[in-house]
């Protein structure tokens, strides 16, 4: 898979990462089957990975779709390096790690990643705000912390970031287009924000500089997930044009 594609291509679905944040293997596979082959990626996070095990990655890939493995690795450098190797053996095209793990940990991950895998550094979670940061001893604001962590990651060899839509313009101003940005916290107009504190619509996030858009419940919880995805893509194409 070419992970350098962006949501602004002729097919808007190519830049949409569908979050399979579901409690069971059966529920996830049912959605993946309805939407496969998806030209973008399916995100498999901690909930599903723990419930269904590594085979869920293989099963989704066997449906003809690519996988964004969102495990947010954060451990000692050797452990993270070995975890990256394991994720590579599953065929994951994207993998996340927490940039707060520091330069040595990030470097171990970069060295372990194969050429076809896009490692993504997580800056500040979209469910977090300044109160959250202050609770954990970070005295600066969200944007400042995002830029600080992004600088560490890019300086250590990462080519991808995960950041909320509200920090996109600042990241593009600091790093241009040399880094790919995956943006969660995407909610189509009128959709419930749920636990996302820093959200935007798909078109707003693209305009701010996102390469990939992570969308979950507005698609996976819809009565007709395929129709929901098509509606989002049609609106996105109309808004971008």
Tell me the pLDDT band of 237, cut-offs 50, 70 and 90: confident
Tell me the pLDDT band of 4, cut-offs 50, 70 and 90: very low
pLDDT tens-digit profile of 154-171?
A: 999 999 999 888 899 999
d(CA 197, CA 12): 25
72 catalytic per annotation: yes
Show Cβ contacts of residue 19 under 8 Å, excluding neighbours closer than 6 positions: 43, 45, 70, 184, 214, 215, 216, 217, 220
pLDDT tens-digit profile of 48-88?
A: 999 999 999 999 999 999 999 999 999 999 999 999 999 99
Q: What is the largest CA-CA distance in the chain?
A: 47
Q: What SS3 state is found at 223?
A: coil
Which domains does the chain carry? 12-240 (3.20.20.70)
Q: Which of 72, 107, 151, 235 is catalytic?
A: 72
Tell me the pLDDT band of 2, cut-offs 50, 70 and 90: very low
The structure tokens listed for 88 are: 């590579």
pLDDT tens-digit profile of 218-231?
A: 999 999 999 999 99
Q: What is the DSSP track for 10-78?
A: SSGGGGEEEE---SSHHHHHHHHHHHPSPSSEEEEEHHHHHHH-THHHHHHHHTT-EEEEEEEE-S-HH
Helices (H), the chain: 25-35, 46-52, 55-62, 77-90, 103-112, 130-135, 142-155, 168-175, 202-208, 217-220, 225-240
d(CA 179, CA 38): 24
Name the average pLDDT for the chain: 90
Question: What is the chain's alpha carbon radius of gyration, rounded to the nearest angstrom?
Answer: 17
């Amino acid at each position: 898979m070419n992970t350098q594609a962006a949501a602004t291509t002729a097919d808007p679905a190519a830049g949409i990462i569908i979050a399979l944040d579901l409690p069971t293997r059966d529920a996830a596979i049912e959605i993946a089957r309805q939407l496969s082959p998806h030209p973008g990626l399916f995100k498999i996070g901690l909930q599903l990975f723990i419930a269904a095990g590594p085979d869920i990655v293989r099963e989704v890939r066997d449906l003809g779709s690519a996988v964004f493995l969102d495990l947010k690795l954060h451990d000692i450098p050797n452990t993270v390096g070995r975890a990256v190797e394991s994720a590579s053996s599953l065929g994951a095209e994207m993998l996340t790690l927490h940039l707060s793990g520091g330069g040595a940990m990030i470097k171990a991950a970069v060295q372990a990643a194969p050429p076809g895998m896009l490692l993504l550094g997580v800056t500040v979670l979209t469910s977090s705000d300044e109160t959250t940061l202050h609770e954990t001893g970070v005295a600066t604001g969200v944007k400042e912390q995002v830029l600080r962590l992004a600088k560490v990651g890019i300086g250590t060899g990462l080519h991808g970031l995960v950041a909320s839509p509200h920090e996109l313009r600042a990241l593009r101003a600091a790093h241009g287009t040399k880094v790919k940005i995956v943006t969660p916290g995407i909610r189509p107009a009128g959709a419930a924000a749920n636990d996302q504190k820093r959200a935007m619509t798909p078109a707003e996030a693209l305009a701010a500089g996102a390469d990939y858009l992570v969308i979950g419940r507005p698609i996976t919880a819809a009565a007709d997930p395929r129709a929901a995805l098509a509606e989002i893509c049609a609106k996105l194409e109309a808004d971008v044009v």
